[in-house]
Amino acid sequence: MVSIPECFSESYAEARAKFCGAAATAGGALRSWLNPHATGPDGGKLYLDTARFGDPDAKHMLVMISSTHGVEGHCGSGAQIAWLRTGGPAKLPKDTGALIVHAINPYGFAWTRRVNEDNVDLNRNFVDHDKGYPRNDGYLEIADAILPQRWDEASIAETERVFAAYAQKHGAFGLQGAISSGQYTRPDGIFYGGLKPTWSNRTIRQIAREELGRAKRVAVIDYHTGLGPFGHGELICTVPPGAKSFPRAKAWYGDEMTSPEGGTSTSAIVAGPMLDAFPQELPDAEVTSIAIEYGTYSVPEVLGAVRADNWVHQRGDLKSALGRELKANMKERFFPAGDKWREMVWARADQTIGWTLKGLGSP
C-alpha cells in the first residue's frame, strides 16, 4: 500500500532522491541536466531530472512538470512520485508514453523561492525577448511598497495603506494583476520576467525537442500552488480563448477548466507562461496544456510571503531570526504541513491525469 503523504518531501534533495528512485523502479529512462549557474543552500549541485516511459516513437505523450515556481515543487514532485509509486507508467494506454520533468527550477526548489537564481519568475520568462516587453504601469506605481527598505510593523502598515488605496481605485483583482501579471523593469522586484531566456527556459525547450519531437499529440500538466480554496486544484488554461487548443482543452476538462482571459480563474492574466514553450518547439504536434493550481492560504497571505521572501533575499539576512521566520512562512504558504492537503493534491492530480489520458486517446 502506497503512503501518499510519504511521496512528498521536505527538501529538494529529498525530493530528487525519491523521484530518481521511484522512476528507476518503474523502469523509466532517466536523464539529468546540471544547472551550471547555482548551487543549493548547502553548496550542493542542482539538477533538472527527467524520466521517460513508453515507446520512444509513441504518438501520444503525457508530460508532467514540477517546480516552475521553485517552492511549489514540493507539491508537483509529490504528485509525480505518487503517480510513479501507484503504477502510473504501467497503466499508460497503448501508443502513449510519458515524460516526467522534475524540478525545472531546481534553485527555487532548493532555496524555498518561487524564482530562479536570477530572481526571474519562470512563468513570466517565456515571452519573445526580441520584441518589446509587456508594460505594467501598475507595478511601477506601487513598486516601493512591494519592496520596502525595512521589514517591520511600520513598513508593513505603509504597504497595506498603499495597496488599499490602489485596490479602491482599480479593484482587488486590479491590484492582484498589477502585482502578479509580470514586470520587466525591476530586477529586484517580484514576478520579474527577466530580459533573456533563463537556463530553465533554454533547457526545457531542448528537452521538448529531443523527447517529444516524434509525438503527434502532446498533453502537458504543470503543477502550481498558492491560489484558491485550501487543497482544491483549479485547472487553468493559460492560452487565450481564441487559440486553437482552447476548445480542445475545454472538451477534455469541461466546466472544471478555467481561463484567466475568460475571467473565470483565480489567476491574473500572465505574460510569458512556461507552457507556451511546447507549441513553439513542437509546431507539428497537437499540444494541449493545463496548469493545476492548488489552493493553500488567502491571496494576501501568499503575496505577503512572496514579498517577504524577496525582501529577505534582496535586503535582509537569511541567517537572522527574522530571515528564518520569513523562510519558514514562505514554505508553509506554498506547501502546507499535514497529510490532508497532500492527499487532496494527489486525488485531484490522479483525476486530472485520467482526464488527460482519455483526451489524448480521443478521436
What is the pLDDT, as a whole number, of residue 266? 87
Q: Quote the CA–CA distance of 322 and 104 in Å, as a whole number.
A: 29
Going edge to edge, which strands form the sheet with 233-236? 29-39, 45-53, 96-102, 60-65, 217-230, 286-295, 233-236, 257-258
Beta strands in the chain (DSSP E): 29-39, 45-53, 60-65, 96-102, 217-230, 233-236, 257-258, 286-295
Q: Quote the CA–CA distance of 72 and 53 in Å, as a whole number.
A: 24
What is the pLDDT, as a whole number, of residue 356? 98
Amino acid at 355: W
Query: How many helices and strands in the chain, by DSSP H and E?
Result: 12, 8
**Under a CB-based contact definition with an 8 Å cutoff, are residues 226 and 302 in contact?**
yes
Burial class (CB within 10 angstroms; exposed 0-12, middle 13-18, buried 19+) of 131: exposed
Q: In degrees, to the nearest 5, what angle opens at C-alpha 307 toward C-alphas 302 and 312?
A: 125
**What CATH superfamily is the domain 5-130+191-296+335-360?**
Zn peptidases (3.40.630.10)
Grid cell of 342 as nine digits = 497532500
**Under a CB-based contact definition with an 8 Å cutoff, are residues 257 and 327 in contact?**
no
Residue 49 backbone dihedrals phi, psi, to 5 degrees: -120, 145
Residue 30 pairs in a beta bridge with 51
**Under a CB-based contact definition with an 8 Å cutoff, are residues 245 and 239 in contact?**
yes
What is the pLDDT, as a whole number, of residue 263? 86
What is the pLDDT, as a whole number, of residue 305? 97
Strand 96-102 relative to strand 29-39, pairing: unpaired
- The count of C-alpha atoms lying within 13 angstroms of the C-alpha of 163, restricted to the half-sphere facing its C-beta, is 22
Residue 233 pairs in a beta bridge with 294
Q: Quote the CA–CA distance of 230 and 54 in Å, as a whole number.
A: 35
**Under a CB-based contact definition with an 8 Å cutoff, are residues 22 and 85 in contact?**
yes
Per-domain residue ranges of the chain: 5-130+191-296+335-360, 137-180+301-329
pLDDT along the chain (363 residues), means of 10: 97 98 98 98 97 96 98 98 98 96 98 98 96 94 96 94 96 92 96 97 98 97 97 96 94 95 87 95 97 96 96 97 98 98 98 98 90
Q: How far apart are the first and last CA of the chain?
A: 35
Selection from 256, 254, 230, 237 nearest residue 343 by Cα: 230
